[in-house]
Chains A and B, each alone.
Chain A
Amino acid sequence: MEFKDLLIQKINDNLLGLVFTPVEFREELSLTLNKKDIVRISRFLKDDSELSFNLCEDITAIDWARRTFRFTIVYHLFSMNNKFRLRLKCDVDEEDCAIDSVSSVWKTADWEERETYDMYGIHFNNHPDLRRMYMPEDFEYYPLRKDFPLMGIPGSLPLPKK
């Protein structure tokens, strides 16, 4: 059995009631799931001895600007034993702009979630230290949102007085 099929079968068997849609593009597997399930599936994918997705490579978000669910949070996981990369995606609405943090599963998620918060303003529940990563603390905007202009907003960063 191919690893992909094994993965999907294991999720179906072990995580009852978890709804997900697998999509394959350029031989990369992505699973789109409900945002309330993210910690549950992350914990399972990491702890299962056969799957063992022990490396969380990247966490980021996409701003779709005009869709019903404005943001999608994207997780890239890698299983060192199986040499397989998996992408998880969760849609997040602008009204309820929050998702549970996976930093309790992978420590590396700490900074990556901070970066996502800094750039998109998405709140991560239960994050140990949700501060801005790059921008100053008193910066009011989220630079990677599509409504933030490329040239920046004049006056948004305090400059030394003349």
Chain B
Amino acid sequence: MEKLTKEDVHPRIIEALLGADSDITVEDALENEMILNMGPQHPATHGVLRLLLRLDGETIIACVPELGYLHRGYEKMAENMSYYEFIPHTDRLDYLAPLSNNVAWVLAVEKLAGIVVPPRAQYIRMLVCELSRIASHLVAIGALGMDVGALTVFLWTLREREKILDIWDILCGARFTNSYTRIGGVANDIQPDALAKVKWFLDQFDDNLKECEQLLNRNRIFIDRLEGVGVASAKDAVDLGLTGPTLRGSGVEYDLRRAAPYLFYNEMDFKVITYPEGDCLARYFVRVDECRESAKIVRQILSKIPQGEVRANSPKKVLPNKAEIYSKMEELISDFMIVNFGINPPEGEIYSAIENPKGELGFYLVSKGGGQPWKCKIRSPSFVNCQGLPLMIKGHMVSDVVAIVGSIDPVMGEADK
């Protein structure tokens, strides 16, 4: 952390930090007021998030987040590739829950193209979504604990997450960046070993999560560092557009799985977890309880999952099976057309959103009838949640910034697109 001179900072940031009515400049600031540059290379900011803080002593008076250090222009790239080609890129948005992003993308494309997906594929998608929610929340809980000084819990939650990655390894051959879903279904049917491993995981997960929780819930230091820190009231949270555990930690019962059900979530029995306090501790509790609810959903999926196809049979829009491509003329032609020119959804526009671990992940697609989207907008939850940082950080200490950023759990791959 270094003291900045005026030349390093854009004048408008200075203006925002110092307030328009103040005549303090950086060079002749009051003795105990300074501007602190936190990040983008900072171990506690979970990626390349840069925060400019204006301090009075150690109290933060104003905070300006700066994004864009990981901007790769995915929206531009999406406009220049077919709908199929973009699936692997969605892995790189929220890289802690890649399967969830895959599902969000294919649901958007299917809505645009009007493809009906067989129920077994939908159930598998729900299964991977919930598993990735558990995996992502486990990292969030562990990293939050580590940020405020409880190191052990990080190792324990990552041990649990490792088991989920093993399931993904069996399921689609990759631990990260899975690219498992396909438009009209999933890449392959779920294997019996994978199902058995999911069952085994669930059987021991509750006890192990309880163990992790016991390390934190009665840890005086952990509670003291989080309780009453970074409060966002319900009204502010909605106004700022926060979603996911950050919003539910402020007591707003908003979960897209209930508010605008997709897949088969309307048939699932689960609770939308809310805590009214709106502080960092509430967000932590929401995540822990959501892990349990997700495990409950996975159990229901395992008992309800129907038999059948895992890919829709509509050769003009959905890639046919390899065996058919090599043996039948029609399928060969449609495979060639889809790979080279893409599926051609009708002219129109859709917005499709799912409840990702971090919040509402939405895709807005505009089609002009061609093989590539004319416009693709990614509504990423981390980006919008980071907007709540100035409000939450104001009035706290520098060391609280670490806890607040950890409790929002932004993934910069997603926030910067």
A115 to B380, CA, bound (A): 12
For B112, the chain A residues whose CB sits under 8 A away are: 26
Contact of B238 among A80, A110, A134, A150 (CB under 8 A): A80
For A133, the chain B residues whose CB sits under 8 A away are: 67-68
A26-B111, A26-B114, A150-B77 given as contacts; is B351 within 8 A of A76 (CB)?
yes
Contact indicator A25/B348 (Cβ below 8 Å): yes
For A26, the chain B residues whose CB sits under 8 A away are: 111-112, 114, 348, 350
**By CB atoms of chain B within 10 A, which of A28, A55, A80, A143 has the most?**
A55
Contact indicator A110/B114 (Cβ below 8 Å): no
Instruction: Produce 1/0 per residue, B223-259, CB < 8 A to A.
Output: 0000000000000101111000000000010100001
Among listed B86-94, B212-220, B287-295, B360-368, interface-contacting one: B360-368
Which partner residue on chain B sits nearest A116 by CB separation?
Answer: B377
Among listed A4-12, A33-41, A57-65, interface-contacting one: A57-65
User: Taking the nearest CB of chain B, how far is it from the CB of A142, in angstroms?
Assistant: 11
Interface presence of B268 (CB below 8 A): no
A135 to B10, CA, bound (A): 13
User: Taking the nearest CB of chain A, how far is it from the CB of B58, in angstroms?
Assistant: 26
A137 to B353, CA, bound (A): 31
Instruction: Produce 1/0 per residue, B52-69, CB < 8 A to A.
Output: 000000000000000110
Interface presence of B379 (CB below 8 A): yes
Task: Give the total of B residues in contact with A, Cβ under 8 Å.
Answer: 42
Contact of A111 among B16, B259, B375, B387 (CB under 8 A): B387
- List A103-120 residues whose CB lies under 8 Å from chain B: 106-108, 110-112, 115, 119
For B95, the chain A residues whose CB sits under 8 A away are: none
A106 to B387, CA, bound (A): 12
A107 to B235, CA, bound (A): 11
Contact indicator B76/A83 (Cβ below 8 Å): no
Instruction: Produce 1/0 per residue, A40-80, CB < 8 A to B.
Output: 00000000000000111110101100000000001010101
Task: Give the total of A residues in contact with B, Cβ under 8 Å.
Answer: 39
User: Taking the nearest CB of chain B, how far is it from the CB of A124, in angstroms?
Assistant: 15
Contact indicator A25/B350 (Cβ below 8 Å): yes
Interface presence of A131 (CB below 8 A): yes
A57-B362, A111-B384, A150-B76 given as contacts; is B260 within 8 A of A28 (CB)?
no
- List B333-371 residues whose CB lies under 8 Å from chain A: 348-351, 353, 360, 362, 364, 366
- List B365-417 residues whose CB lies under 8 Å from chain A: 366, 374-375, 377, 379, 383-384, 387, 416-417
Contact of B76 among A87, A112, A143 (CB under 8 A): A143
Contact indicator B364/A76 (Cβ below 8 Å): yes
Contact of B374 among A60, A62, A78, A115 (CB under 8 A): A62
Q: 22 A-B pairs, CB-CB below 8 angstroms?
A: A25-B349, A26-B111, A26-B112, A26-B114, A26-B348, A54-B238, A55-B241, A55-B254, A56-B241, A57-B362, A60-B375, A76-B379, A80-B259, A107-B387, A108-B241, A111-B387, A129-B12, A129-B16, A133-B67, A134-B68, A137-B10, A150-B76
Given contacts A25-B350, A57-B241, A107-B239, 12 further A-B contacts (CB under 8 A): A25-B349, A26-B111, A26-B112, A54-B239, A55-B241, A57-B362, A58-B364, A58-B379, A74-B377, A108-B387, A134-B67, A134-B71
Which 10 pairs across A and B sit closest by C-beta, in order of nearness? Answer: A108-B241, A134-B68, A134-B71, A60-B377, A58-B379, A25-B348, A107-B239, A62-B375, A111-B387, A150-B80
